[in-house]
Structure 1
């Protein structure tokens, strides 16, 4: 019997930056922003800064940011998981969870990203175009919006508020 197709992001298990399994079901009931991050991108400073602002404002209200490092765009996340954690947590002061480095495109894309892209294709098809593509997920684990890498995290604050306020 074939496994049931995932119905929400809460059906996935991913690896954290230390290699431990994390069931995304532990975020059930929270609004999520899932982002593919990179340490050496032109968008890195502004995105981490604004993601930190959003996280500070809404983490106590049921909001979580899940960051997935990815080296598929111009090799801008070349380091090991330890290097990535050092940059994200020390240089950019990220307090939100950073996960294992993943591939978001191609045959080796992780299942979570295949699901995200199947739920919300991009402007030019499904592929993730660059670092800091953002997926907004509601409390039921459904992908409700996809934002371009150049969309400032603070520009989506209203969408996050609306999801947090919906029951």
Structure 2
């Protein structure tokens, strides 16, 4: 009987080379597909597509504010700028709202730890102290990996990241950021911009009739 031929230690024939080529092609195709899916992912271009939480923790769709001009601010109760900014925001809300305009306030404790209160206490405090009637939402984070996506959209769109409490972002009826202000800037600098956006909005609605 003839001895059995020894098997080779490894497969290095033509079939192995073909398999390696096919595997490489498959991996490259998969990587290209993943990249394409990432690039094709729809880009969010409206503030009003986000969902946030109200002061009690219930979800609120910002879609309800679409079609209005909004001024969004990060607020705090125990800041040296609190009084004048809340008075100014309430004045703007009373002057231009509620049909064409609204102030939207998001408490945040990341700047000087100036908002230690729970969200519901914030609402009670600002209503009793400053007569606030505009929406106060759930306390959020603005900086870092836990930043609220809706507020991060404002920051990314404007390229202006808040460095203190009461940073303000003006959002048009379509949900795009058109301007931002530092907390020290007076209400007189903000009022004309709001009035102009509202005027444009009303003209457009009349033209669409």
TM range (shorter): over 0.9
Superposed displacement of residue 83, structure 1: 1.6
Tell me if 1:142 matches 2:180.
no
Separation in 2 of the partners of 1:153 and 1:97?
A: 19
Separation in 1 of the partners of 2:94 and 2:85?
A: 14
Partner of 2:149: 111
Tell me if 1:78 matches 2:116.
yes
Larger C-alpha radius of gyration, 1 or 2?
Answer: 2
Unaligned runs of 5+ in 1: none
Q: Which structure carries more relative contact order (alpha carbon 8 Å, separation 6+)?
A: 1
Partner of 1:36: 74
Unaligned runs of 5+ in 2: 1-36, 205-209
Within 5 Å, give how 1:2-13 maps onto structure 2. 4-13=42-51
Tell me if 1:19 matches 2:53.
no
What do residues 92-125 of structure 1 show as CA deviations (whole Å, max 9, x unaligned)?
1100000000011111111011111111012xxx
Partner of 2:167: 133
Pairwise CA RMSD: 1.3
Separation in 1 of the partners of 2:55 and 2:172?
A: 24
Within 5 Å, give how 1:46-85 maps onto structure 2. 46-85=84-123
Tell me how many residue pairs correspond in the alignment. 163
Q: Which has the higher helix share?
A: 2
Superposed displacement of residue 153, structure 1: 3.0
Describe the shift of the 1:40–1:29 C-alpha distance in structure 2 as closer, same or farther (beyond 3 A). same
Superposed displacement of residue 154, structure 1: 3.7
* TM-score normalised to structure 2 length: 0.75
* TM-score normalised to structure 1 length: 0.93
